[in-house]
Amino acid sequence: MWRSFCISFVIFCFALNPVFAERIKDISTVAGIRSNQLVGYGLVVGLDGSGDSSAAFTDDSMRNMLEQLGITLPPGANLPIKNVAAVTLSAELPPFTKPGQKIDVNVSSIGNSKNLRGGTLLMAPLKGADGQIYAVAQGNLVVMGLNASGKDGSSVTINIPTGGRIPNGATVEREVITSFVTGNSITLNLFRPDFTTAYRLAETINDTMGLGTAKAVDASSVKVSAPTDLSQKVSYLSMLENLTFNPGTAAAKIVVNARTGTVVIGQNVIVQPAAVSHGNLTVTITNDPTISQPPAFSNGQTVVVPKSDVDVAATNSGAFVFNLGVTLDEVVRAVNNIGASPAELVAILEALKAAGSLNAELIII
């Protein structure tokens, strides 16, 4: 199959001196402006018998909730918790979210509940890593999965029915203060650390805002002076993030997906002079059992005698040479001409890397 269409190549290559401008907001973030993870515990009620059938913590949670509502149960009373499920809650609190705004909540069963469809989450707090309550969640679950079973034991399950989501299901109660509102500087962190990109970013800001405004701290960060007044800082950052400049090119890399045969070759990949020979060794073993009959009146038994034929065939697709200054197009053409499979291509690239003829980092996934 692989021989019929060789290898699928995806090549990102541009001209020798590419010029492409990027906005600062597209390749970096402002330090301190990030989301925060929240987690909580709660009870989902209103399930049609698909709740926790035997979970001690669910029973304890129900007792505690009823006591807080002024209902005291006698000691040893059994609670019908088949319509209740204990769940964990998770949410992400975006930066600058104010009290009263809504965020989505993910709900996942932690007991032996089989289905959360139709359930309602009762009021539950969401806490941050510091233990403080930042939001309160409550509402009806949206469950995309379902399951159905018959009396004969057969069952059908689609997606995951023990997890759901409550859109806008949590109300923010506390704001997370970021470093953006304080100080007289901001730090831009690059998505992809690169010394050239950091240097060019600082130079672009200095050319626009004035010499000494920005300073590259390392390959990831550029520190920029900013106004202390918050309203001025917002407009100042608005101008900064829309500045465009030419970032540094990525390091030479080759990414090979051995399962699909997809190869991504970066722009700066260079192959030094090398000769590659590609061949296959095929070993074929054929089993042809025969029947052995005993002579007449010998009281022997008929037996099956195994018989194997071993055939070894060596094929050679020849050799090809990578000359000095070889282009990516020539690399692709040479590999396609020999009809290499993904595994064979990986072997060729590894051999070139070991021989010192490949300058790129080889990543196999």
- Could you read off the pLDDT of 56-78 as tens digits, one per residue? 788 888 888 888 888 887 777 77
Q: What mean pLDDT is reported for the chain?
A: 79
Q: How far apart are CA 342 and CA 321, in angstroms?
A: 20
The residue type of 296 is: A
Lookup: tokens for 36:
């925060």
Q: Taking residues 81-98, what's their average pLDDT?
A: 92
* pLDDT at res. 13: 41
Residue 2: which pLDDT band, with cuts at 50, 70 and 90? Answer: very low
* pLDDT at res. 5: 35
Tell me which of 31-40, 44-53, 136-145 is least confident: 44-53
Lookup: tokens for 203:
């130079």
Q: How far apart are CA 137 and CA 141, in angstroms?
A: 11
* pLDDT at res. 8: 44
Q: Is the pLDDT of residue 191 over 60?
A: yes
Q: Is the pLDDT of residue 241 over 80?
A: yes
Q: How far apart are CA 8 and CA 252, in angstroms?
A: 20
Tell me which of 18-27, 35-44, 157-166, 187-196 is least confident: 18-27
CA 320, distance to chain mean position in Å, is 38
Q: Taking residues 330-357, what's their average pLDDT?
A: 68
* pLDDT at res. 263: 75
Are 127 and 150 contacting, i.e. CB atoms less than 8 angstroms apart? Answer: no
Q: Is the pLDDT of residue 200 over 90?
A: yes
Residue 309: which pLDDT band, with cuts at 50, 70 and 90? Answer: low
* pLDDT at res. 243: 93
Lookup: tokens for 234:
């917002």
* pLDDT at res. 277: 64
Are 312 and 283 contacting, i.e. CB atoms less than 8 angstroms apart? Answer: yes
Angle, CA 270 vertex, CA 268 and CA 276 arms, to 5°: 145
Nearest in space to 322 (alpha carbons), one of 362, 344, 355: 355
Tell me which of 142-156, 176-190, 254-268 is least confident: 142-156
* pLDDT at res. 183: 82
* pLDDT at res. 275: 67
Residue 320: which pLDDT band, with cuts at 50, 70 and 90? Answer: low
Q: Is the pLDDT of residue 88 over 90?
A: yes
Q: Is the pLDDT of residue 147 over 70?
A: no
pTM over 0.75: no
Are 336 and 7 contacting, i.e. CB atoms less than 8 angstroms apart? Answer: yes
* pLDDT at res. 132: 94
Hey, is 282 helix, strand or coil?
strand
Q: How far apart are CA 265 and CA 138, in angstroms?
A: 49
Lookup: tokens for 231:
């309203």
* pLDDT at res. 148: 64
Q: What are the backbone dihedrals phi and psi of residue 56, each rounded to the nearest 5 degrees, phi first?
A: -65, -40
Q: Is the pLDDT of residue 245 over 60?
A: yes
Residue 149: which pLDDT band, with cuts at 50, 70 and 90? Answer: low
Q: Is the pLDDT of residue 328 over 70?
A: no
Relative to beta strand 253-257, strand 361-364 is parallel
The residue type of 22 is: E
Query: Could you read off the pLDDT of 222-238 as tens digits, one per residue?
Result: 999 999 888 898 999 99
Query: Could you read off the pLDDT of 4-40 as tens digits, one per residue?
Result: 334 444 444 443 444 568 899 999 999 888 899 999 9
Residue 216: which pLDDT band, with cuts at 50, 70 and 90? Answer: very high
